[in-house]
Amino acid sequence: MELSVVMPCLNEAETIETCVRKTVGFLEENGIDGEVVIADNGSTDGSQQLARDAGARVVPVAEKGYGNALMGGIAAARGRYVAMGDADDSYDFTTLGPFLDELREGADLVMGNRFKGGIAPGAMPPLHRYLGNPVLSFIGRLFFRSKIGDFHCGLRAFNKESIMRLGLQTGGMEFASEMVVKATLQGYDIREVPTTLSPDGRTRAPHLNTWRDGWRHLRFLTLYSPRWLFLIPGLVFMTLGLIAGIALSTGPVTVGDVAFDVDTLVGAGAAMVIGFQAVVFAVLTKVYAMQEGFLPDDRRVKLLINWWSFERGLLVSGLLAVAGLAGLVASLLHWRVNDFGELDPRESLRIVVPAATALVMSLQALFATAFISILGIRRRQHPPMTDPAEEAAGVVDAAAQRVEAEQRKAAESKAVESEVAEPEVAATSAKGADADDADAETTG
């Protein structure tokens, strides 16, 4: 079968029949070997029977959620290619031709783009059209270097085998983003075709919740990008903290009428610590996600981890600790010069803050090194231990089987020799009988 059209369904009695009949008509008119699969998520309004009567195959999916329903339908699909779309009659399933053409040419995923194809008045709330979808799609393109303009279009088609390899996990509306993100990270051939969006044909409220589902999309996009969640903010904090720390280490800095002094130096030290911790988290998250298969392998991260051995980590953390201890010794000497009396904070903090910052970062580097080394431990299957008695019994059994095989072979050889000897004996006997007859005739 070439194409399966999967529609998630939860109480879509008002529109399900229309969607199925349109799709079945499209398949028949274009001579496509296909089917319509309704992934029913627990409808109670009779949607299942309406879908069957219209020519669809209904697959029940017990686990609730948009993503769960779709994955259940996709897994049950029999086609090489799968198209998916909502069962609320907002998408025109008779326009699947361009999607199928792109798949036949080798695309792994073909996305619809409603902003290029056209959004009918009233089909999409203004908040979704002008803020939610554009912003989330922009974040997806920025974080994952995707070229897709409409991350959340519900009408899309794909090669089933390619999508099943992605191991999609999310069960809610963020499933739409997960498919695009993982396909992009795996380097799939992703294409986009214009599609239209019409007002849905139902009278009940939509299942989509603007703020809850929008947050779930945003959360997924950020959690799947350690670079933007940890690395880039961490580098920004570290850079600002380092610049401010160096500038304030020798004295106050005045910008116009504003004077920055040791209070700002304390903030710079905190920024350095926070930034360094964020960068460490970025590396740890990336290593863990690569090993668990959440994210594809990153050559740069592998090179870094291979270079950053446990010993090198100890060396770096040791150097930072030495620098911090040296700063603390210097602060004690400064206190001694002042006869261990009251100190001017504007002088003493310029020594103590950098020293404390170095000590904290040395411990962070030490803990991160240990944790990365733990993540690098490989699970290994050792050869199973064997009992000497069992091993000896095995040797005896093998020898017995070998002797038995040799005896069987000898018996077969003897049987063959017997079969060859019997005709020769019969021929000799016949010759002897002929000779006796000849002698009798001569005598007579």
Phi, psi of 207 (to 5 degrees): -70, -25
- Domain locations in the chain? 3-223, 226-375
CA distances from 31 to 34, 93, 96, 155, 270 (A): 9, 15, 13, 21, 67
pLDDT at position 415 over 50: yes
Averaged pLDDT, 89-110? 95
pLDDT at position 207 over 90: no
Average pLDDT for the chain: 86
How would residue 42 be classed by pLDDT, with cut points 50, 70 and 90? Answer: very high
Residues 159 and 202: their CA atoms lie apart, in Å, by 30
Supply the pLDDT for residue 386.
Answer: 53
What's the order of all strands across the beta sheet hosting 156-159? Answer: 57-60, 34-40, 3-9, 81-84, 156-159, 109-113, 190-194
Averaged pLDDT, 143-170? 93
Cα torsion at 356, 360, 363, 367 (round to 10°)? 180
Residue-wise pLDDT tens digits, 151-161: 999 999 999 99
For the chain, give the percent of residues with pLDDT over 90: 59
Q: Comparing C-alpha atoms, which of 104, 60, 97, 102 is closest to residue 80?
A: 104
Averaged pLDDT, 194-209? 88
pLDDT at position 419 over 70: no
In the DSSP assignment, the letter for residue 73 is H
Supply the pLDDT for residue 160.
Answer: 97
* Cβ atoms of residues 49 and 16 within 8 Å: no
* Cβ atoms of residues 349 and 248 within 8 Å: no
The two structure tokens encoding residue 382: 């050792």
Averaged pLDDT, 244-264? 88
Supply the pLDDT for residue 405.
Answer: 74
pLDDT at position 44 over 50: yes
Look at strands 34-40 and 57-60 and give their pairing: parallel
Supply the pLDDT for residue 406.
Answer: 74
Residues 277 and 256: their CA atoms lie apart, in Å, by 33
- Most confident listed range (167-176, 229-238, 293-302): 229-238
Contact partners, residue 381, CB within 8 Å, separation at least 6: none
Supply the pLDDT for residue 89.
Answer: 92
Q: Comparing C-alpha atoms, which of 253, 108, 237, 101 is closest to residue 185?
A: 108
Residues 361 and 320: their CA atoms lie apart, in Å, by 7
What burial class does residue 128 get, using C-beta atoms within 10 Å of its C-beta: 0-12 exposed, 13-18 middle, 19+ buried?
Answer: middle
Supply the pLDDT for residue 208.
Answer: 82
For the chain, give the percent of residues with pLDDT over 70: 87
pLDDT at position 414 over 90: no
Averaged pLDDT, 390-418? 68
Of the listed ranges 304-313, 353-362, 405-414, the least confidently predicted one is: 405-414
Residues 239 and 251: their CA atoms lie apart, in Å, by 19
pLDDT at position 186 over 60: yes
Supply the pLDDT for residue 82.
Answer: 97
Contact partners, residue 273, CB within 8 Å, separation at least 6: 241, 357, 360, 361, 364
Full-model pTM: 0.74
pLDDT: which is higher, 387 or 402:
402
- What's CA 128's distance to the chain center, in Å? 27
Residue-wise pLDDT tens digits, 268-320: 999 999 999 999 999 988 888 888 777 888 888 888 888 888 888 899 999 99
In the DSSP assignment, the letter for residue 206 is P
* Cβ atoms of residues 56 and 42 within 8 Å: no
Helix (H, G, I), strand (E, B) or coil at 351: helix
pLDDT at position 438 over 50: no
Domain 3-223 has CATH 3.30.465.10: no
Of the listed ranges 23-32, 292-301, 320-329, 432-441, the least confidently predicted one is: 432-441
Supply the pLDDT for residue 387.
Answer: 55
Supply the pLDDT for residue 384.
Answer: 54
Q: Comparing C-alpha atoms, which of 286, 284, 282, 274 is closest to residue 239?
A: 274
Q: Comparing C-alpha atoms, which of 206, 153, 180, 171 is closest to residue 67?
A: 171
Supply the pLDDT for residue 418.
Answer: 64
* Cβ atoms of residues 79 and 160 within 8 Å: yes
